[in-house]
Chains A and B, each alone.
Chain A
């Protein structure tokens, strides 16, 4: 109970900090950075659903991110649709693409799945890169519209975009929280731990995996759509496999298969990269070995390791209490 309370207060404090941040710090650079962190986090949360909870390494994630981004970009610039409708359509299109890929890809297992999704990612990249007349090819798409007004609320300042990204992130985390703490989340974990076992207790593997994969594509699409309207320029590079690897790194640093992991990892890695600007090109010289070391020694990342630590301490406390109890009983019996 006390743990739940402290967890709840932690979340409250963090949300307050996030909400008050732009009011206290008028630093444009930091705001821009945090907005990007929030946007990327949404994609990493999607990644976490399929790769963290269901245990399937999906390497097409940047592809779905790009579908969302190009969806918004093309619908607003070429089709001239209003922003919010475009955003909605882009997310729906990405989710549909995810479902379509998932139906076929999920028939393959473990490394076949990784390679299959990698190929899907490469196909998406090559299509964006070569389909000049639609996507603008290597030149990319310029002049994507910023988020449109909702009634009296406008999104033309950085602060308002910050809040927009923050609210979408909060929504994403809330959905993930509800999923993980429901039967569905348990089902996902059961599939990760043993597909055969899950099957024997009557779990429909395909249906649940497909749901997870579609959800993960949906979040990637949402993140991509927000990214496109925030940066307002996109190129084929956003669908490259390196972007997927980058998201994988965020997830791994934060903690794969944990709820706080995606946000923690994205925040840490992006802020570290930004503060080591001179390293920009060579940051993987550090992060590559970090990924390997994490896999070797801390496969559950920062959040996972903290959780394990807390659990261990709790168990120690319990066993200590037990010992005390036994000593007392012994004394009483002796007395």
Chain B
């Protein structure tokens, strides 16, 4: 029984990371209407920048995270302004290919800047605490709490501020949003900034329990795709439910089924879902 609780706790940790990544992806989907393949590269860059700030400049972990969030948010805005803005109205294939091009570049850039080695990220939170009879590392606890705070902040931003409401409006109905005079360009770059920031935060939080390497974003982003398909593309509650669901399934599956094949679970899940329902779960209307 204790093992099960331990795995549920681990699942919540991984789920938090997946959810943060998937939230950014789902927000950007509302703007681009295609999946942004480059999102995983944002995640990777975020981890490296935090690491660099900590090791290279000796910053505190939290300050490093804030710096990394800022840098990746700017990176998101730059890609949107330089590339995706120009492809507005182009067919989905071109957008997807452009995103792949950005991904290839950023991955090579990561390798060029920081090499192919695997790095550990040491934080002051590696101590073990006892929580309701479970022994957990402080970092894992921190991931869950930080993710919840970020999600709440995002929720209040989207529902309580004007600009947040504009983002939701754009995702729901593009033409309608234009009609009421929403500044599409502003909404677009802001969404990219938020998505990039969330990816950087997720990577910085997850790196201390994983490792930092150039292709670290690949598996995470692919799982984020699975999540936003499970949760419905563009849906925020869907991304949260999907993220935690996948995290829990994986960590429980790894213990009770096979740890070798734990990565397959997500993709099999998606294949099964899309086989049964080709437009994804919770999709409103016809895509």
Write the residues of chain A forming the contact surface with B, with a CB cutoff of 8 angstroms: 51, 55, 57, 104-105, 107-112, 114-116, 118-120, 122-123, 126-127, 130, 241, 245, 248-249, 252, 281-285, 287-292, 295-296, 299
Given the interface pairs A123-B267, A126-B261, A291-B101, the reply to whether A111 lies near B35 with Cβ below 8 Å is yes
CB neighbours (8 Å) of B157 from chain A are none
- The answer, among B104, B225, B233, B261, for a CB contact under 8 Å with A245, is B104
Q: Say yes or no: B112 contacts A295, CB within 8 Å.
A: no
User: Whose C-beta in chain B lies nearest to the C-beta of A127?
Assistant: B264
Majority secondary structure of chain B interface residues (helix, strand, loop or mixed): helix
User: Whose C-beta in chain A lies nearest to the C-beta of B41?
Assistant: A288
The yes or no answer to B64 lying at the interface (CB within 8 A) is no
CB neighbours (8 Å) of B109 from chain A are 285
- The answer, among A109, A114, A282, A289, for a CB contact under 8 Å with B96, is A114
CB neighbours (8 Å) of A119 from chain B are 222, 225-226, 267, 270-271
Write the residues of chain B forming the contact surface with A, with a CB cutoff of 8 angstroms: 33-35, 83, 86-87, 90-94, 96-98, 100-109, 111-112, 116, 218, 222, 225-226, 229, 233, 260-261, 263-264, 267-268, 270-271, 274-275, 278-280, 287
Min CB–CB distance A205 → chain B (angstroms): 13
User: Whose C-beta in chain A lies nearest to the C-beta of B280?
Assistant: A112
Q: Say yes or no: A282 contacts B108, CB within 8 Å.
A: yes
Given the interface pairs A123-B264, A126-B267, the reply to whether A284 lies near B104 with Cβ below 8 Å is yes
- The answer, among A112, A130, A245, for a CB contact under 8 Å with B229, is A112
Q: Say yes or no: B274 contacts A288, CB within 8 Å.
A: no
CB neighbours (8 Å) of A127 from chain B are 264
User: Whose C-beta in chain B lies nearest to the C-beta of A251?
Assistant: B97
9 contacts between A and B (CB under 8 A): A108-B279, A110-B34, A111-B96, A112-B278, A123-B268, A284-B105, A295-B98, A296-B83, A296-B86
CB neighbours (8 Å) of A252 from chain B are 97
CB neighbours (8 Å) of B102 from chain A are 288, 292
CB neighbours (8 Å) of B34 from chain A are 110-111
Min CB–CB distance B277 → chain A (angstroms): 9
CB neighbours (8 Å) of A110 from chain B are 34, 92-93, 287
Instruction: Report the separation of the CA atoms of residues A126 and B259 in the bound assembly, to the nearest whole angstrom.
Output: 12
CB neighbours (8 Å) of B106 from chain A are 288
- The answer, among B83, B111, B116, B264, for a CB contact under 8 Å with A292, is B83
Instruction: Report the separation of the CA atoms of residues A291 and B103 in the bound assembly, to the nearest whole angstrom.
Output: 11
Instruction: Report the separation of the CA atoms of residues A118 and B94 in the bound assembly, to the nearest whole angstrom.
Output: 17
User: Whose C-beta in chain A lies nearest to the C-beta of B271?
Assistant: A119
User: Whose C-beta in chain B lies nearest to the C-beta of A284?
Assistant: B108
Closest A-B pairs by Cβ, 5 of them: A288-B105, A291-B101, A284-B108, A288-B104, A292-B101
Given the interface pairs A111-B92, A119-B226, A295-B94, the reply to whether A282 lies near B267 with Cβ below 8 Å is no
Q: Say yes or no: B93 contacts A291, CB within 8 Å.
A: no
Min CB–CB distance B127 → chain A (angstroms): 34
Instruction: Report the separation of the CA atoms of residues A116 and B278 in the bound assembly, to the nearest whole angstrom.
Output: 10
Min CB–CB distance B227 → chain A (angstroms): 11
Instruction: Report the separation of the CA atoms of residues A116 and B90 in the bound assembly, to the nearest whole angstrom.
Output: 22
A-B contacts besides A108-B278, A110-B93, A112-B280, 19 pairs, CB < 8 Å:
A55-B91, A104-B271, A107-B274, A109-B287, A111-B35, A114-B96, A115-B226, A116-B271, A119-B226, A281-B116, A284-B104, A284-B105, A288-B105, A291-B100, A292-B101, A292-B102, A292-B105, A296-B87, A296-B98
Instruction: Report the separation of the CA atoms of residues A287 and B92 in the bound assembly, to the nearest whole angstrom.
Output: 21
Q: Say yes or no: A289 contacts B270, CB within 8 Å.
A: no
Q: Say yes or no: A112 contacts B222, CB within 8 Å.
A: no
Q: Say yes or no: A115 contacts B104, CB within 8 Å.
A: no
Interface core residue of B35, B91, B104, B108 (most chain A CB under 10 Å)? B104
